[in-house]
Structure 1
Amino acid sequence: MKRLQAQLSLIISVLQASFISLVPYYILYSFILLSIELAKSFIDFGPSFNIQDLNNLSSLINGILPVLINISISYHLVNLYYTSINKLLTIVLSLLVYLSVDLLLNVKDINSYVFPNSFIMAIIIPIFISFTISKIMIIFEKYENDLKSSLSNNISSAIVYILPFIITFFISISFFYFLGISINLDSGIEIFTKSSEEALLFLRILISNLLWFFGIHGINFFDAIVNIDILDNFAYANLTYKELFNLFVIFGGSGAGLSLVIAIFFASKDKHISFVGKASLPFVFFNINEILIFGIPIFMNFSLLIPFVLVPVINCILSLFFYLTMI
């Protein structure tokens, strides 16, 4: 039991390090989104450069996130835990498996393939790959020692990894491919029917913020597996449930980031947290709070779990209450 707890703690530490190391990426992406919103209001676009070009740039930066997560987790796993295995080959193998599984499961036309979009696979596959190849390398340990005694380290390392690389690749591809087939979520699970919008809204709030806490893009993940069409229905006059969610529930981004920034300005004495709060201020006005999530970090910070998940729920309750009292 203690060993399992230690391994779980180590995986959490690796995930924390992996996502925190991507903070510069999140800041860049946030800055691009902010720039696009400002450009829409103040720049007169011409035929050679238009708003679609900026949107394409945003899609590119956002689309590469799962790949970066995969690479970052692979790197930190082999750097902090599986230190005896080849770092570069493990990262390459993890990325190859991730892209291959996504291609086999989701792509019908290779010419239309752009980026993978499974955050779950991006996180799980590096862990599986690192564990599997480390165990296989134990079998080849004597062979590796024999090679090193007769060849240079670089050549012996390249040769000894050939079979483990191939074996791990096919084991991983088979496992995750059949796992993906058995969990077919393409059409989305229809949890609630019409007239249950409030229930689905609350579920979306809870699960999406909880997933964000663990480093998974909560809204994207939830919307990918759950059919949320009924949230296009109107909650108030001229206001759908989706718009209610964006405007009154998660103002400042997931976890109601604007509330946290205000609290930081009034109460924080920590220099690092104060700096992150100031840096994130322009972005939270546009519901962009990755800087807060991975900069403080809120990610895997269990002391902030309850407010991060419950504040949006309270916002939703208050919004619905004021609406009901006003009609």
Structure 2
Amino acid sequence: MLNGNDNTTHSSYTNNANQIAVPKHEPMEYETSNNTHPHPHPHYPGNPTPNSLSVQTGSSNINTNLAINGSVEIPQSRVTVLRGHESEVFICAWNPTHDLLASGSGDSTARIWNLQGTREPEIVLRHCIRRGDTQVPSNKDVTSLDWNPSGTQLATGSYDGYARIWSSDGNLVSTLGQHKGPIFALKWNKKGNFILSAGVDRTTIIWDANSGHCEQQFSFHTAPALDVDWQSDTTFASCSTDQKIHVCRLGELRAVKTFHGHQNEVNAIKWDPQGRLLASCSDDMTLKVNSNESNRT
């Protein structure tokens, strides 16, 4: 894990109102190992690249062929570089209604970037925990984040085991502490009243976004849960290193459906817009499309 160095270029903006997320109770203790607690950001070898790349520019309708010699050179005039994070940046998400971009990093912060220049260019969301009477940085990766449908709130999940809800102007709204280990995935439903999270503790949780309370915790997986995706406002799918995919519904005590097709860890899942087909990708080097109408893959 990179801790930053003297060569890091930081944004010239300093936010004096940086928010500190402090859980109400002591941080959880957990052990990690390469076998049972996978890192949520795997690295894969690069794919072969072609000899040229056709790029559609934003300022004209012409295509520019850029020679590739191990990398693609993009003219600086077409690039906006956002600097400020002090470690790896793992994830980003566009705000659905405003020109804001959120990012999560190994420096235990999430950041909200304003790309229009109508307000402060960067808001830093510092993820902290309480040790006794002292507030200290969690020093854990921000692994996941997602905007609510109206773009007014940002939810973040962290390797410290907590989910947090922030306003779009950087104020901490609530801290969600039910997982017993790192959170790997987190998503709002379309209605914006529930947040879904998945963690290394083998569980998925539906949270009430207004109260911050746990609506229901699902313990169907036998290994860390890696990803989740909503099918509807109350039904979702989850995948795990146990090679299984469960379809679950709020209020149900058993999984509605389980898919067993993969032969290795299932890394990510995604419903089609109609909620009929569920795509999944796995360490078994396959992508499968599962039909929700049957157990057919």
TM-score scaled to structure 2, two decimals? 0.28
Question: Relative to total residues, which structure has the larger helix share, 1 or 2?
Answer: 1
Q: Which has the larger radius of gyration?
A: 1
TM-score scaled to structure 1, two decimals? 0.26
Question: Relative to total residues, which structure has the larger strand share, 1 or 2?
Answer: 2
